[in-house]
């Protein structure tokens, strides 16, 4: 079968795809920034020796890690407003669920880093009169942040890919624009291939960086 590619369609749809790309990046930055900070807070609860902090934190992390992201998105868009008593916009629902999902994974990365430091350092810092917050900031975090960097970059890459699911809630990001355009022009082959390439160009630098970082850290150890 001979198929004639229509490249003009790609040129025509490019401005809309770029508009979608901007929304994708907005969603990505928002969810990653808040997800990281929230994840840190959750990891502190997770490493706490108090049961009422530790228990809910475990539940939170396991819940988000053991259900599909798409189900979480759908739940926050269709079910959560009922508890809340107010409708969420698709963008808000997507941003909220992606943020919480990312925070659960980031909490595990932070926790892994924190518990990798020998207990003796906590005790030593306490012995010289440092508070727990101070020990965390001056002793523990500076040692582990570098080691956690590849894991966080990987999380960032996963998140960038997962933002595409927001298209199923009709958030007008890249994938949504791609689907809309491919049904308007009836040219799914050209447009969906270009959408895949745009994602690749967006995400590949991150994973290249992460692979290099991992190699450098491995060489140093």
Partner 1 sequence: MQYQWDFAAVWHHIDMLIVGLIGTVELALVSIVLGVIVGFVVALMRLSHRRALRTPATAFVEFYRNTPPIVHFFWFFYALPIVIGLSFEPFTAAVLALSTQSGAFYAEVFRGGIVSIERGQWEGAKALGMNYRAVLRRVILPQALRRMVAPFVDRSFELTKTTALASSLAYAELLYQAMQVNSITYRPMEVYTTIAIMYFIVLFAASNLMRLVEYRLSRVG
Alpha helices in the chain (DSSP H): 7-47, 51-65, 69-74, 80-84, 90-115, 119-127, 132-135, 141-162, 174-185, 188-220
- Contact call for residues 32 and 209 (beta carbons, < 8 A): no
From 35-43, 50-58, 111-119, 191-199, give the range in contact with partner 1 by CB under 8 A.
Answer: 191-199
Integer angstrom CA distances of residue 205 from 103, 166, 175? 23, 22, 20
Integer angstrom CA distances of residue 15 from 11, 161, 177, 184? 8, 21, 10, 15
Our finding on whether 74 is near partner 1 (CB under 8 A) is yes
Identified binder of partner 1 from the candidate list 7, 75, 121, 124, rule CB under 8 A? 75
Write down the least CB distance from residue 203 to partner 1, Å. Answer: 4
Our finding on whether 155 is near partner 1 (CB under 8 A) is no
- Contact call for residues 177 and 17 (beta carbons, < 8 A): yes
Our finding on whether 72 is near partner 1 (CB under 8 A) is yes
Identified binder of partner 1 from the candidate list 30, 144, 180, 203, rule CB under 8 A? 203
- Contact call for residues 185 and 9 (beta carbons, < 8 A): yes
Write down the least CB distance from residue 53 to partner 1, Å. Answer: 22
Closest C-alpha among 115, 106, 105, 108 to residue 49: 115
Residues binding partner 1: number (CB under 8 A): 42
From 103-111, 118-126, 138-146, 174-182, give the range in contact with partner 1 by CB under 8 A.
Answer: 174-182
Identified binder of partner 1 from the candidate list 28, 105, 152, 199, rule CB under 8 A? 199
Which x/- pattern over 97-136 shows residues binding partner 1 (rule: CB under 8 A)?
----------------------------------------
Residue 215's CB: how many other CB atoms inside 10 A?
Answer: 11
The number of angstroms, rounded, from the C-alpha of 69 to the middle of its chain's C-alpha atoms is 11
Tokens of 156: 């960032």
Residue numbers at the binding site for partner 1 (CB under 8 A): 1, 3, 62-63, 66-72, 74-75, 78-79, 82-83, 85, 157, 160-165, 167-168, 175, 178-179, 182, 188-189, 192-193, 195-196, 199-200, 203-204, 207
């Amino acid at each position: 079968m001979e198929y004639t590619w229509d490249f003009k369609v790609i040129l025509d749809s490019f401005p809309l795809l770029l508009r979608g790309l901007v929304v994708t990046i907005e969603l990505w930055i928002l969810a990653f920034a808040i997800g990281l900070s929230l994840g840190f807070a959750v990891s502190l609860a997770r490493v706490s020796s108090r049961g009422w902090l530790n228990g809910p934190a475990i539940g939170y992390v396991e819940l988000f890690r053991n259900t599909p992201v798409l189900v979480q998105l759908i739940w926050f868009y269709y079910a959560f407003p009922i508890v809340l008593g107010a409708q969420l916009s698709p963008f808000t629902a997507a941003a909220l669920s992606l943020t919480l999902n990312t925070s659960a994974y980031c909490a595990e990365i932070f926790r892994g880093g924190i518990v990798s430091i020998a207990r003796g350092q906590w005790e030593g810092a306490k012995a010289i009169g440092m508070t727990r917050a101070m020990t965390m900031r001056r002793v523990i975090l500076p040692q582990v942040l570098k080691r956690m960097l590849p894991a966080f970059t990987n999380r960032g890459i996963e998140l960038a890919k997962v933002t595409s699911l927001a298209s199923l809630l009709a958030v007008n990001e890249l994938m949504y624009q791609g689907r809309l355009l491919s049904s308007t022009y009836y040219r799914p082959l050209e447009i969906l291939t270009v959408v895949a390439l745009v994602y690749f160009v967006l995400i590949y630098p991150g994973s290249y960086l992460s692979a290099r970082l991992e190699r450098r850290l491995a060489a140093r150890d």
